[in-house]
Chains A and B, each alone.
Chain A
């Protein structure tokens, strides 16, 4: 039997969105061990980070969409993660992102999230997703607004209070 895992590659001017691989574990583990991950479920041990990678791959198979690893085109370095998340416990599909240490301030999160947003609307039918954002995560709120999202309501995910931002309806499959 074969299960097909169709993880598309999406290219932007400076970035490549591609599937996560085991070889990304060092940088992902470093991120989840750091304080930078506390808005996205961290901190986590290296072993838990491995399960993040395998879980992200399985998410693609179960839902048909998921998180990409964001690679810097010029260096081939992983700089973050972006994509659509909808595991059990989520109200609906979410557009999410995070950057690994040392890659902030270059507009990468915006560039990657914009590409993921457009790809999701066109290919996955996710035309008006949400983003769950920790009330204290001002940088992600600013990015969501820059991407066109607006505060919709106070929400909760996995028992954590968060703000739900909603993206305006965009054109879907053509």
Chain B
């Protein structure tokens, strides 16, 4: 029995299934305060079992969370993928970026590629993200992806807000998708490159 996990490549990133060697990075984030919006911080056992469950999710659902790596250095940067454990009302587009790599547009680049895969290859017709209302970085990312708060949608446990992503049709050659592509391109190759220090 094998689990086939496709490899996704973007301009700066390569997304692969979770492997044993990526566990230390996963653990350092999920054992930390950074994981407070994802049920953490977790103890050793809980962290390890969650990592094992990330792999088992692929086996059960045929999709799951990828580990995001820098294409050149292979450094693990975070995770992104489709997530639907029991009790989730709908399949979710989910992500987490390791703290030291935040702020460089990696999450946007990874989630954009993941969403395209979920829509174009797996045939999802819609996707939601369940976010903690205090998780402003993730809410901001959902909005950059064109997702909008969906007050009608069922939540996981009543403590989360549901953001609904644009449908495949709403992303096909539209201003939203052009904007995302431009933002990603600008992170990879900034239009404005400061040459010195700000004086003010």
Closest to B27 in A: A88
| A89 CB–B CB distance under 8 Å | yes
Closest to A59 in B: B52
Contacts A5-B1, A19-B1, A50-B86 given; does A55 touch B56 at CB 8 Å: yes
A55-B50 Cα distance, complex, nearest whole Å: 7
A50 cross-chain contacts in B, Cβ below 8 A: 85-87
Q: Are A62 and B47 in contact (CB under 8 A)?
A: no
A123-B182 Cα distance, complex, nearest whole Å: 54
Q: Are A46 and B87 in contact (CB under 8 A)?
A: yes
A150-B130 Cα distance, complex, nearest whole Å: 49
A4-B2 Cα distance, complex, nearest whole Å: 4
In terms of DSSP, what is the predominant structure of the interface of chain B?
Answer: helix
Please give the residue numbers on chain B whose beta carbons come within 8 Å of chain A beta carbons, in ascending order. Answer: 1-7, 16-17, 19-20, 23, 43-45, 47-60, 85-87
Contact with B48, one of A19, A22, A49, A89 (Cβ below 8 angstroms): A89
Q: Are A49 and B59 in contact (CB under 8 A)?
A: no
Contacts A54-B56, A57-B60, A59-B52 given; does A89 touch B5 at CB 8 Å: no
Contact with B85, one of A5, A51, A57 (Cβ below 8 angstroms): A51
Please give the residue numbers on chain A whose beta carbons come within 8 Å of chain B beta carbons, in ascending order. Answer: 1-7, 19, 21-22, 25, 45-47, 49-51, 53-59, 61-62, 87-90, 158
Q: Can you give 26 contacting A-B residue pairs, CB < 8 Å?
A: A1-B5, A2-B5, A3-B2, A3-B17, A3-B19, A3-B55, A5-B1, A5-B59, A25-B86, A45-B87, A50-B86, A50-B87, A51-B49, A51-B85, A51-B86, A53-B56, A54-B55, A54-B57, A55-B56, A56-B52, A58-B55, A62-B51, A87-B45, A87-B52, A88-B45, A89-B44
